[in-house]
């Protein structure tokens, strides 16, 4: 019986590992993601190419260049190029999901000593922007925004945090799925500013 339980456990573990296309990360809310990020930008992917790291040749990376629409944290610049480690072999074939023309909001970690970065919380800090039927810009991260507002009731009451009624209501009631980009940016600006 015990061996059967162990086999079942490893079977489900292997399925979860196969399905996961990035490093395993601890769930984090938007307050934490915003404060932890060194750079936060909204922009369009100009190019994304997979190549070896220039110093660590056995390390596969994706080099992404964005045309920046807005900088929410960090030094404003018209374009931003960053290099990200490729965690999963499948990411070699689709540039880790970055596509030319794609509109993204990225919360990026500080560069490592090897000039590598990634979104904070991996897919949690990478939001794809789309438009709803009325043309409103909507944002959704790689985890379908699950847990994006978890445990935030006290965080939004911190001194200096001022949110609109609509955004406060969104934080209180939104379980999953796309959210208006304007409200996401409102939250990011409040929490990124609180970190300074």
| Overall domain count for the chain | 1
How buried is 30 (Cβ within 10 angstroms: 0-12 exposed, 13-18 middle, 19+ buried)? buried
Q: Quick check: is 6 in a domain?
A: no
This prediction has a pTM of 0.85
Sign of CA dihedral 47, 50, 54, 56: positive
- The residue range of the domain holding 36 is 25-194
Listed in sequence order, the DSSP H helices in 61-180 are 165-173
Q: Quick check: is 74 in a domain?
A: yes
Q: Quick check: is 16 in a domain?
A: no
Q: Quick check: is 45 in a domain?
A: yes
Beta strands across the sheet bearing 179-180: 79-85, 60-73, 39-52, 103-108, 126-131, 137-141, 179-180
Q: Quick check: is 9 in a domain?
A: no
Q: Quick check: is 19 in a domain?
A: no
Mean pLDDT per block of 10 residues along the chain (196 residues) reads 43 37 74 96 97 92 97 97 89 87 98 96 96 96 94 87 92 93 96 68
């Amino acid at each position: 019986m015990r061996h059967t339980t162990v086999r079942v456990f490893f079977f489900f573990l292997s399925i979860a590992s196969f399905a996961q296309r990035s490093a395993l990360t601890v769930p984090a809310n938007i307050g934490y993601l915003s404060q932890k990020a060194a750079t936060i930008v909204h922009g369009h992917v100009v190019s994304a190419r997979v190549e070896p790291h220039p110093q660590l040749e056995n390390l596969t990376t994706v080099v992404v260049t964005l045309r920046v629409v807005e900088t929410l944290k960090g030094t404003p610049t018209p374009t931003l190029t960053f290099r990200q480690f490729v965690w999963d072999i499948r990411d070699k074939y689709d540039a880790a999901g970055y596509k030319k023309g794609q509109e993204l909001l990225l919360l990026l970690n500080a560069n490592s000593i090897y000039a590598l970065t990634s979104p904070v919380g991996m897919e949690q800090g990478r939001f794809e922007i789309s438009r709803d039927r009325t043309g409103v810009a909507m944002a959704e991260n790689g985890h379908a925004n699950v847990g994006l507002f978890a445990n935030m009731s006290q965080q939004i009451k911190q001194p200096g945090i001022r949110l609109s009624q609509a955004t406060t209501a969104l934080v209180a009631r939104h379980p999953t799925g796309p959210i208006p980009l304007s409200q996401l940016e409102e939250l990011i600006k409040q929490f990124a500013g609180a970190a300074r």
